[in-house]
Amino acid sequence: MKPRIREAVVVEGRYDKNTLSQVVDGVILETSGFGVFKDDEALALLRRLAGERGLVILTDSDGAGFVIRNYLKGAIAPSQVKHAYIPDRPGKEKRKRAPGKEGKLGVEGMPPAVLLEALRRAGATFLDETTEKGPTGRAITKADLYAAGLSGTPDAAERRRVLLKRLDLPERLSPNAMLQVLNALYDYETLAALGLL
């Protein structure tokens, strides 16, 4: 069973997210590389999650990773952010034909044990190892989204857009990302009581 992390973890891209999601259970968001610099909604969501759960920034150890890390460091309250660093390891990821510009492995190329150790050193809260509990109510499921007409129906995209706007969340969240964010901020009972599910 994968360990659960309380804080939301921010990585650079989808391959980093895929790798980390095989190691830990929790909210993992991507910056779309430098895309976060121009995405006010994404930054607002990161600030909100940082305020409610805390945030762990886990970027590659190359120059681009540090540019993104420093941008987020300046945009989010320092007391709400933890920084996880991966070691400099030369190499290339399996999916790439050639190494990156600096010849270093990124988050996606790190072994699971290295990623776990980086999160531990950063001070991430592993819920299974502490007395702190996660959300108190039932988790929201894909079936709940389907039952509420938020997925799998012809007008699901519009319903999601309306719900996300009402909850002041980025409207470009995919259904899977929306489910992850909803579970980070709410539980089923809370949204049902508001008439949203």
pLDDT at 97: 85
Other residues' Cβ atoms within 10 Å of the Cβ of residue 163: 20
Q: What is the mean pLDDT of residues 104-124?
A: 93
pLDDT at 135: 56
More confident residue, 176 or 154: 154
Is the confidence at residue 193, as pLDDT, over 80?
Answer: yes
pLDDT at 133: 53
Over the stretch 147-165, which tens digit does the pLDDT of each residue have?
Answer: 999 999 999 999 998 998 8
Residue 187 pLDDT level (bands cut at 50, 70, 90): confident
The mean of the pLDDT values for the chain is 90
Q: What is the mean pLDDT of residues 121-138?
A: 76
Is the confidence at residue 171, as pLDDT, over 60?
Answer: yes
Q: What is the mean pLDDT of residues 70-98?
A: 91
Is the confidence at residue 15, as pLDDT, over 90?
Answer: yes
More confident residue, 115 or 96: 115
DSSP string, 127-172: GGGSS----SSPPP-HHHHHHTTSSSSTTHHHHHHHHHHHTT--TT
Strand partners, 5: 126
Interhelix angle 175-185/156-166, rounded to 10 degrees, is 30
Q: What is the mean pLDDT of residues 28-46?
A: 95
